[in-house]
Amino acid sequence: MRKFSVNVNGTRYEVEVEELDANAVAAAAKPEPLKAAPAGAGTEVRSPMPGNILQVNVKPGDAVKEGQQLMILEAMKMENEILAPCAGRVAAIGVAKGSSVESGALLCTIA
């Protein structure tokens, strides 16, 4: 631990900061890979972070192209486009406009 003195708006605070080695930082920053859907089930599109669904731009049965915008996820006051990872047809939608989702939640499936 290293100690620092920090001045915030004229108030002085003492803080302790833990130093991490490069391996610990890299392991913490590496996102968990998405698990593949069972054979024949299609490609699952999962939420990359917790947030709220602002828009759902597709419905079951719609044909989509790779990179096409599927929906918009608001997280930390930023709008994030959720894009199709592959071409195909939307098999199912797991969320609706206004839904609150956790990281890794199933948003839709593309067959």
The overall average pLDDT reported for the chain is 85
pLDDT value of residue 16? 85
User: Domain segments of the chain: what residues?
Assistant: 34-110
Q: Which residue bears the tokens 């089930």? A: 41
Tokens of 57: 């731009």
CATH code for the structural domain at 34-110: 2.40.50.100
**Does residue 91 come out as left (phi exceeding 0), alpha (psi in the -120 to 50 range) or beta?**
alpha
**pLDDT beyond 80 at 109:** yes
What average pLDDT score do residues 13-21 get?
A: 81
Q: For 26-59, what is each residue's pLDDT tens digit?
A: 655 555 444 444 445 689 999 999 999 999 999 9
Q: Which residue bears the tokens 């915008």? A: 69
